[in-house]
Structure 1
Amino acid sequence: MTMWIQRARSGGEALQTLVDGLAEELGRSVVLDDPLVRMICTSRHFGDEDRVRVRTLLQGIADDEIIRYVLSQGVARWTVPGILPGRDDLGMQPRYCVPIRQRGHMLGILKVMAVGEPLTEAETEAIDRVARTVAVEMYADRLASDVDEERTRQLLGWLVGSDSALRCAAHQRLVDDGLLPAGPHVVVTSVVVSGQRGPSGQIAVALRGALEPFRHARTARGLSAVDQDRAVLVQVFDREPTDEELDVQCRAIVRSLRTFLGTDVDVAVGVGGRRTALADAWICHDQARVAVRAARRLPRLEGVGDWERLGEFTMFLQLPESALNESLLPKPLRLLLDGGGNSRLEETLRCFLENAGSVPRTAEVLELHRTSLYYRLRRIQEITGLDLDDGAHRLVLHMGLQLLDLLQVPRETDVPGDRAATVG
């Protein structure tokens, strides 16, 4: 073992020293990434830098397209070193990649630029030697991090749980330890991932990575906890966040997870109602889980539900999953839907109700002559047996159509909140 490896072990910047020493020994650029292809530390250039390396150094993080490409090659699942092929269209040269693993844990990826002359046996042996030392250092950090993460997961589980005594104890601990302030603006976000068939633990790693930027935002302090395929993020803002700001945050979480896990992964994010005290985070958490159900059931939400914007859906989505079936649909609406070929009448009814029963506005939206519209409305009344001039009758049909939207998605087998989980 070379002397610079021994010095690295005793220093506070061990990983950086290891990477720099290896780069100098090889005369090649070296970088150490985490399992999500986010840079931990890097060496100086050795004239072999490509556009991807330069851009990553300038930004501090690789572009999403690069991350997706690297992960699509299965590097995070490798158990032995290999060459990551270059991509001319991305401005990326080949890299020799070594998965950093210790006791079954994927800790990172050590990458060496593989431009020019092929790596010699002596060079690959040097890389392997350093990789083993890096694994030891990173595993020690992982053990310390796991202790902190488990403590946070337990405290947040108590804070948003059903036991009032534990909620009070968690609130006191979080505030006294300076982990979270008591207020003034509290928001809880719930995230659920499904449809992913990757390696065990990959979803949890991706969730941690996607939520990390929002633990120390400019106007908020937060804590997150992950439980397998779901997570909770508790944030305390200095000022009340706008709906638009929270929407941007949620969609950034969705994008990150799809970058880390693939674009075909199903991600649902729910935001609870805004509260003014950390002690009320449990209320916001329950609402966030309802919002997640909305995000999973209503395609128009594009994976993001917000309790404050759900309207009447907040009532329907608090029903047990077993109760959300076609038996809830009012009989008059079922008569209309079962009539066959009545999709045009359904569309007309929706538009009429969404425009507060205004014939002029409905005709304008549907680009329909009023005579034709009146004919359709009469047909709807004949089939349903209801009077569209009666507010109570219109309410029955409107609520029925809203329920119908929820029933378009196949029944969920694992609903957020039904599992005895600590978070999510």
Structure 2
Amino acid sequence: MTSATGESDPRALQDLVDDVSDLLQAPATLEDTGFALLAYGSHGPDGVDQVRAASILRKTATPAVRSYFLEHGIASATAPVRIPADESRQIAARVCVPVRAGGRTHGYFWVVEPTAGVDAASLVRVVPLAERAGVLLARRAGVADERAGLVAALLFGGAKAGGRPMMDDEEPGPRAAWRRLVALGELSPQEPLVVAVVREADGTVRHTVLSVPAGAAPDLIARRVARQVPAGAVAGFSGPCPPPAETVGSQVDSGVGVGAGAGVGLPAAAVRAATALRTAIARPHLGPVLSWDDLGFYRVLEQGPEVVAALIAGTPAARLRERADADLIRTVLVWLDSGGNAARTAAALSVHRQTLYYRLERVEQLTGVDLDEGEARLGLHLGLALSEVLAVAPPVPG
């Protein structure tokens, strides 16, 4: 069975997990190759360890656990792999059954070994179930690849979406991509759109477009975007944008009225989302999910790096970045971010308050500003904060 989006039916995957659990008489889980949890069976008192419990709660394994499992060659294995216990990591002994299709690994069945062990004959019978799961996950991966291509075409244009040749009755470019996403059930034809850019924990960047209810409150939109952001990732988003309905479909290509605000197109909305992402990366106390609408003065970055860099050039902030080391710059930034509160700054930096005062005096010497003057302090803060964002490379889709 498949869903309206063409993805493998979660019920079908759950049925396979339950079948594996029944065959091996031990609770099983199914994860993709990124160790994201896809389905799991119920467990008794002997079928869970700290890793399994944490994976179910967090929907993914920790980096340390992933490394331990990958050390045992599961990524390239074509047959079940027994993984020994590791008491230091609170990992119980378990069996990994690679879920493969078309010569590729698409995921893993995991079973914590019961006290009596896993029966070898039953383990052989699990392999066909893993093959069926592999077909479902391969189909889902194909849909994900197509969706990524369609989103790229919608935001940036392109004659072919997701590597799929356009049908005779389709128009190449953003309008056709939008229609295909609507047909797949990925977007609503009437609801406003939100453009988000997500940087995964491994550095991979992906663009996505979401439908949101008309008139939705900002916190609801933020929560919907946040659900697309896995642990350790950072995201920026821009929206809501009027949908490119058929009656205004031509506006998609011309970039009029389809974006974050009147007269802003989807490509511009993508730029704004990318700006919010860069700001969230450079200024983590604002993130990890940041909206263009919440950027405040950082919106000046939309003017382009050359324009902003020219505004900063020759200012006390630029002089400080040229003459000071990273510790000194971080000190004054934390102090300015803390509203000049010495106690909070010293605690955040784990330094003595006298050390903080010495560093601030050094900043005054290097910049020629009096940090007791509001305008001077404001200019230094703006210049340093914008410089931090400019230092983050623009996100390139992975």
- Same-fold call, TM cutoff 0.5: yes
Per-residue deviation, 1:308? 0.7
CA 1:274–1:327 in 2, change beyond 3 Å: closer, same or farther? Answer: closer
1:77-116 correspondence to structure 2 within 5 Å = 78=74, 79-80=76-77, 81-83=81-83, 85=85, 93-103=92-102, 105-116=104-115
Query: Could you tell me which of 305, 311, 314 is aligned with 2:296?
Result: 311
CA RMSD of aligned residues (A): 5.1
- Alpha-carbon contact 1:101-1:108 (below 8 Å) kept: yes
Determine the C-alpha separation between the residues in 1 that align with 2:51 and 2:282. Answer: 41
Amino acid at match of 2:82: G
Q: Which has the higher contact order (CA 8 A, sep 6+)?
A: 1
On the 8 A contact 1:274/1:284 being kept in 2, the answer is no
Distance 1:66 1:192 in 2: 17
Q: Is the 8 A contact 1:73 1:84 kept in 2?
A: no
Q: Within the alignment, does 1:240 sit opposite 2:215 as a pair?
A: yes
Which structure would you say has the larger Rg? 1
2:32 to 18, 34, 48: 34
Alpha carbons of structure 1 residues 151 and 129: separation in structure 2 relative to 1, 3 Å: same
Task: Give identity over the alignment, percent.
Answer: 19
Is residue 268–residue 304 contact of structure 1 (8 Å, CA) maintained in 2?
yes
- The residue number in structure 2 matching 1:257 is 231
Q: Where does residue 174 of structure 2 map in the other structure?
A: 167
Q: Is the 8 A contact 2:317 2:383 kept in 1?
A: no
Q: Match of 1:407, as an amino acid?
A: S
Task: Give the distance between the partners of 1:175 and 1:144, measured in 2 at CA.
Answer: 19
Cα drift, residue 301 of structure 1: 1.9
Matched residue pairs, number? 331
1:142 maps to 137
CA contact (8 A) 1:336 1:384 kept: no
Among 171, 181, 192, the residue aligned to 2:188: 181
Gaps of 5+ in 2: 1-9, 159-170, 245-251, 253-257, 260-265, 346-360
Counterpart of 2:113, as a letter, is A
Shift of 1:323: 6.8
Contact 1:316 / 1:403 at 8 angstroms: preserved in 2? no
Match of 2:391 in 1: 411
User: What is residue 296 of structure 1 aligned with on the other side?
Assistant: 281
- Give the residue type in structure 2 aligned to 1:404: L
Cα distance change, pair 178–290 in 1 and its aligned pair in 2 (3 A): same
Contact 2:197–2:208 (8 Å) recurs in 1: yes
Matches within 5 A, 1:117-128: 117-119=116-118, 123-128=119-124
Q: CA deviation at 1:190?
A: 0.8
Task: Say which SS state the counterpart of residue 273 (structure 1) adopts.
Answer: strand
Partner of 1:49: 47
1:169-217: CA deviation from partner (whole Å, max 9, x where unpaired): 32344445654223343211110236x3xxxxxx7xxxxxxxxxxxxxx
Segments of structure 1 that go 5 or more residues without pairing to the other structure are 1-11, 197-202, 204-228, 259-266, 356-361, 367-375
Cα shift at 1:269: 0.7
Query: TM-score normalized by structure 1?
Result: 0.59
Deviations 1:53-80 (A, max 9, x none): 9979xxxx70229732642422595244
Contact 2:51/2:65 (8 A) holds in 1: no
Give how far 1:284 is off.
Answer: 2.3
Tell me: CA distance 1:74–1:249, structure 2 relative to 1, closer, same or farther (3 Å): farther
Q: Structure 1 residue 162: deviation in Å? A: 5.0
